[in-house]
Amino acid sequence: MFRGSGSSAYTRLPAVDNRIVSAFGPVPGRLAGAVRVRGAVGLQRLRGPRAAFRSESYVRLNQRRQEHLAALGLPLAGRSVLEVGAGVGDHTSFLLDRECRVTVTDGRPANVEELRRRFGGESVRLLDLDRPDPSFDESFEIVYCYGTLYHLSRPAEAIDYLAARCNGMMLVETCVSIGDHEAINPEREPASSASQATSGLGCRPTRPWVRNRLRMYFPHVYATTTQPWHEEFPTDWTQAPKPGPLTRSIFVASRAPLALPSLTDDLPQIQSRA
């Protein structure tokens, strides 16, 4: 269902920069076109939900997200994790490699089928956070909600649902709107895309709305002092957003205090990169 990199990701194949870099350095100009064509053909050949999650921009976004998450220094290893809006599981191996016990979920049956194909030995289930299953009442040390909240038409109800199933930390990465006020800001999304809102309606909440909603359920809510090395994660919130890219922010909500230099109680106006 989720983790799309924005409204442009599903409409066309991404252009590939001529400055393609391989493990051995830049690809010669005479080969760059061939690499570009082969990459586009390979993406076109994908079928089912995987095609929505294999654009160059989407893969790059996930790399920067996970680099940043690893740099936060959070106690993740060996925990029980509920991963929501997992799409086709591109974040799941990050958790499995840290020996977490992961329940992987998504709101689209086709995505869940792909998750079961990839992670047959893990717990995989259908969970649509706009219409969540009330009988699913397990508790987890970590709720992993990266790239999901902004694809929901009822984000407040989703946070309520997830907080009730979290006994440790809830990790939230989401697209946001610029502003010092509280607002949800509904946003239309194509329900036909495997990476967008199942209902066709998402949201772009402001940072104060996300933080204050999390504070209703968690005694300790943090923003990060750093942002990933990606243009969709601004580091100067005093500037008007540039046209085009989405705007993203990261939150850590916790039952216990976290004394880490990577976290702050405030909503920082200036952040660095990590």
Q: Are 150 and 202 in contact (CB under 8 A)?
A: yes
Q: Is residue 206 domain-shared with residue 168, that is, in the same domain?
A: yes
pLDDT in tens, 82-133: 999 999 999 999 999 999 999 999 999 999 999 999 998 789 999 999 999 9
**CATH number of the domain encompassing residue 214:** 3.40.50.150
pLDDT in tens, 179-195: 999 999 999 999 999 88
**Residue 28: domain span:** 13-45
As a whole number of angstroms, the distance between CA 238 and CA 194 comes to 34
Q: Is residue 104 domain-shared with residue 231, that is, in the same domain?
A: yes
Q: Which tokens hold the place of 162?
A: 């997830």
pLDDT above 90: percentage of residues in the chain: 76
Any domain includes 1: no
Q: Is 73 left (phi over 0), alpha (psi -120 to 50) or beta?
A: left
pLDDT in tens, 26-61: 434 433 343 333 344 344 455 678 888 989 999 999
Q: What is the pLDDT of residue 121?
A: 76
pLDDT in tens, 192-222: 998 899 999 999 999 999 999 999 999 999 9
The number of distinct structural domains making up the chain is 2
Q: Is residue 80 domain-shared with residue 33, that is, in the same domain?
A: no
What's the half-sphere exposure (Cβ side, CA atoms, 13 Å) at 124?
21
Q: Are 38 and 57 in contact (CB under 8 A)?
A: no
Q: Is 141 helix (H, G, I), strand (E, B) or coil?
A: strand
Q: What is the pLDDT of residue 244?
A: 78
Mean pLDDT to the nearest integer, 175-179: 97
Q: What is the pLDDT of residue 14?
A: 39
Q: What is the pLDDT of residue 239?
A: 92
Any domain includes 3: no
Q: Are 91 and 143 in contact (CB under 8 A)?
A: no
Helices (H), the chain: 29-45, 56-71, 92-96, 109-118, 155-163, 207-215
Q: Which tokens hold the place of 116?
A: 């079961």
Q: What is the pLDDT of residue 225?
A: 98
Any domain includes 77: yes
Phi, psi of 201 (to 5 degrees): -135, 120
Q: Is residue 149 domain-shared with residue 19, that is, in the same domain?
A: no
Q: Is residue 57 domain-shared with residue 41, that is, in the same domain?
A: no
> Residue 2 — pLDDT band, cuts 50, 70, 90?
low
As a whole number of angstroms, the distance between CA 207 and CA 200 comes to 22
